[in-house]
Structure 1
């Protein structure tokens, strides 16, 4: 009997030495026969892939007391885990960090950067076109009107400055700027055509008052003003829409997910580690519910965003059709020269009527100056304009490409949860519904997968329930972005109809919106309490 005891003790010592020298490192299953939990593969995975310190990771199962999320299923009657409470906290933090980083990459690095890039390219293209038009205008008028133009070119420069300022800031009235331009041009030309006389400020004020009745430029001011106004309004609206949409996307990163989202993320991508299943990916249904719940607030933006996409498409149609900015900016030198020629042809009648209304001016010291305007041939340009277009211009191509990018984002926010699940391939199983992590064990996900997105649809979400009380406290930032999109849609519709848009600068606009929503949030808090 004594020999048997000694032999048993010797055998156990040998076995212990062997197993300590040859640890099991290839198992990923739980539970094994006899309800044994293996944690040997947890330490290397957490150390190398998640950056956890190896000293915080137990080599063997530990009691699961104190765990709040990754609670063992107890199918084998054991209450042990590969995670300590500190590890569970670290896994929760890592799961939330991964979610935030993936959301930022999806929104900021993808959608927002694309919109920003298109906006930058469009703005640069338009600015170059306006600069080129100004240069061609200057060259043509120097060649045609010589020193007379040189002496009065500040009038024309002011017009181009006003057009540039409107596109950049939008804080001027285009119709008023064009009225001022033609009024100043009318007075300058009147002085040149009647240079043998002397005129004081009072007399010139009378001359200015006669313009509307005399119409010295014919109907050119009315036509040009209408064309410039509606085309520039639509062009600025197109560019600003991209800027505002990009700002909305970036701001949505500041919309926090529901409070219970962190719990669900940990359950989906952390608790499998606590049961030794480090390579087991989450079931698609589990990910769907988690993402729909965590992105419930973001999905609420879908309706307003889709309205923006539709309105953007309408303004695109206008820019490619009757509101074409190229049809206005490129031939603006011809259009203004036509107005000048109209005045030249009727200058004698205009001067006679002015003298009749304002009085005969005094002769000056200078003799009458003969004005000789070259006749401009419009035939070749008109012929080219009437030819059917075969190819798109570079600007039209850019506008079409930009609209295609925006159109592709329709339903973006309601599809965002699905996109997030598709993007995190390292976490979610690909169509392996029976061999995936269901949040508790390796098995099919049996909970009902929520069909809809948004706040209301998550009332029955088994993973992330969003309560009305919490949503009313957390949706201030969301409401602000929804309001921005509604205002943008309204401006795009005005631009589509050729109506003036009251563009505020970004700072004052954001300040006003922020103050308004702080008040709304405060009132909402009072009502809920």
Structure 2
């Protein structure tokens, strides 16, 4: 994103340099400020693009007046320059260019802003759920399933499929509640990405900015007599250069040399790659118990298996479904209630889904509130646990314990956030390794929650 904005900024300066050489030097800082505002807005800063565009054109008017409307003037002093700037506010010297630029930038930048915020939240959801503490009941059930056969010298016997599903669905009951909201999140992201490709592409919009700026300046140049009389009527007559002085005016147009593209790979291609990999994880939370049992833990059909008490040909207990309510009949794991941390994650997913679907318009501070939540993150605990379980909810401080949910270092080149740890480093869009971008949406290693389920500590 940074490279894309910088490229559009360089193209704008290059166009001004080729068309209005003397103007380009004075306009460069103003151009830089405009594109800085655009980049900050996309990354989540609470600012108005309409106001940013207005500031840009207002700041551009004094040098336009000095170099194009009244060529041959002495350098405008501070007082007269400020008067020219104020006068330009009511003269509409650029025609409809400011309105065009505002409309195009807002239409393309807001979806990208929401997209990046959604991806940031997606990373938070995964990191939070990946580090949930297992309840005491869950740990006991896992130990009984994995290690009790060893006491009877049955080291190669695996648990029955139904038994394994009951244990893991009990352990993952809270995570299963995330499933419908996560599916909606993935579907909403997919719909947003399709809309962006169909007409809200930021790359194409930024590429059009230099032309709009050039047209705006050309309109002011053509309106020079009108603008000159209006400014003189408000600010008085400016000082002109002495005879023989060097006149600084319009330079004949030169062939435009647009800076080379940074990469043949467009933002649209990256989004499509991301979407392809994202679809793989649509059913991640709902299917985690099934995936672990069928692919790693449980015995195959027709093979004798462990049912928690003995070796049997088949598991005869009722196999419950996924989710909190279904665990009321679970014969293997007692589940008390939904995890409060998971409930917070679900609330955040609901909010961001509304934004992604266009059912809610973000106001100042809304996206930050969704990211951070309305309460203090410290002091949260996860699972049915107490001091004996080794988890806590008392927060952290000098001499205190750290929260159960933690984040460490994992570099994200787009989101510029740090999440993950040695067990799990999640990559939502781009991770840069030795200056080579890799576009993936996957766990680098097995998720920590899966490791704790498949390798419980006795």
TM > 0.5 fold call = yes
C-alpha distance 205-336 of structure 1, shift in aligned 2 (>3 A):
same
Matched, 1:445 2:315: yes
C-alpha distance 206-517 of structure 1, shift in aligned 2 (>3 A):
farther
C-alpha distance 400-447 of structure 1, shift in aligned 2 (>3 A):
same
Instruction: Report the TM-score when normalising by structure 2.
Output: 0.72
Query: Unaligned 5+ residue runs, structure 1?
Result: 1-125, 382-391
Name which one, 1 or 2, has greater alpha-carbon Rg: 1
The alignment partner of 1:290 has SS state of: helix
Q: Counterparts of 2:102 and 2:37 in 1: how far apart (Å)?
A: 13
Does the aligned pair in 2 maintain the 1:289–1:462 contact within 8 Å?
Answer: yes
Query: Unaligned 5+ residue runs, structure 2?
Result: 259-263, 384-392, 394-458
Aligned to 1:412: 284
Instruction: Report the TM-score when normalising by structure 1.
Output: 0.63
Aligned to 1:122: none
The alignment partner of 2:306 has SS state of: coil
Aligned to 1:371: 249
Q: Counterparts of 2:113 and 2:335 in 1: how far apart (Å)?
A: 40
Aligned to 1:345: 222
Does the aligned pair in 1 maintain the 2:18–2:254 contact within 8 Å?
Answer: no
Aligned to 1:361: 237
Matches within 5 A, 1:469-484: 471=338, 475-484=339-348
Q: Counterparts of 1:152 and 1:366 in 2: how far apart (Å)?
A: 25
1:150 to 2, 7, 25: 25
**What is the CA distance between 1:403 and its match in structure 2?**
1.8
Does the aligned pair in 2 maintain the 1:207–1:354 contact within 8 Å?
Answer: yes
Aligned to 1:33: none
Q: Counterparts of 2:282 and 2:371 in 1: how far apart (Å)?
A: 26
Does the aligned pair in 2 maintain the 1:229–1:498 contact within 8 Å?
Answer: no
Q: Counterparts of 1:270 and 1:327 in 2: how far apart (Å)?
A: 59
**What is the CA distance between 1:299 and its match in structure 2?**
0.9
Q: Counterparts of 2:354 and 2:130 in 1: how far apart (Å)?
A: 24
1:182 to 57, 79, 98: 57
Aligned to 1:489: 353
Q: Counterparts of 2:96 and 2:279 in 1: how far apart (Å)?
A: 39
Deviations along 1:255-302, whole A, 9 cap, x unmatched?
Answer: 233431122112211121122221111111111111100000111111
C-alpha distance 362-217 of structure 1, shift in aligned 2 (>3 A):
closer
The alignment partner of 2:311 has SS state of: coil
**What is the CA distance between 1:462 and its match in structure 2?**
1.0
Q: Counterparts of 1:242 and 1:258 in 2: how far apart (Å)?
A: 29
User: Quick check: which one's helix share is greater?
Assistant: 1
1:313 to 187, 190, 201: 190
Q: Counterparts of 1:270 and 1:479 in 2: how far apart (Å)?
A: 32
C-alpha distance 175-497 of structure 1, shift in aligned 2 (>3 A):
farther
Matches within 5 A, 1:101-500: 126-192=1-67, 193-194=69-70, 196=73, 204-356=81-233, 358-366=234-242, 369=247, 371-374=249-252, 394-424=266-296, 427-432=297-302, 435-443=304-312, 444-450=314-320, 452-468=321-337, 471=338, 475-494=339-358
Q: Counterparts of 2:213 and 2:6 in 1: how far apart (Å)?
A: 17
C-alpha distance 517-375 of structure 1, shift in aligned 2 (>3 A):
farther
C-alpha distance 269-518 of structure 1, shift in aligned 2 (>3 A):
closer
Q: Counterparts of 1:331 and 1:359 in 2: how far apart (Å)?
A: 34
C-alpha distance 377-214 of structure 1, shift in aligned 2 (>3 A):
farther
**What is the CA distance between 1:454 and its match in structure 2?**
1.1
Q: Counterparts of 2:363 and 2:125 in 1: how far apart (Å)?
A: 23
Aligned to 2:431: none
Matched, 1:510 2:376: no
Does the aligned pair in 1 maintain the 2:26–2:63 contact within 8 Å?
Answer: no
Give the alignment's Cα RMSD to 1 decimal: 3.3
Does the aligned pair in 2 maintain the 1:237–1:491 contact within 8 Å?
Answer: yes
Q: Counterparts of 1:314 and 1:516 in 2: how far apart (Å)?
A: 34
Does the aligned pair in 1 maintain the 2:58–2:89 contact within 8 Å?
Answer: no
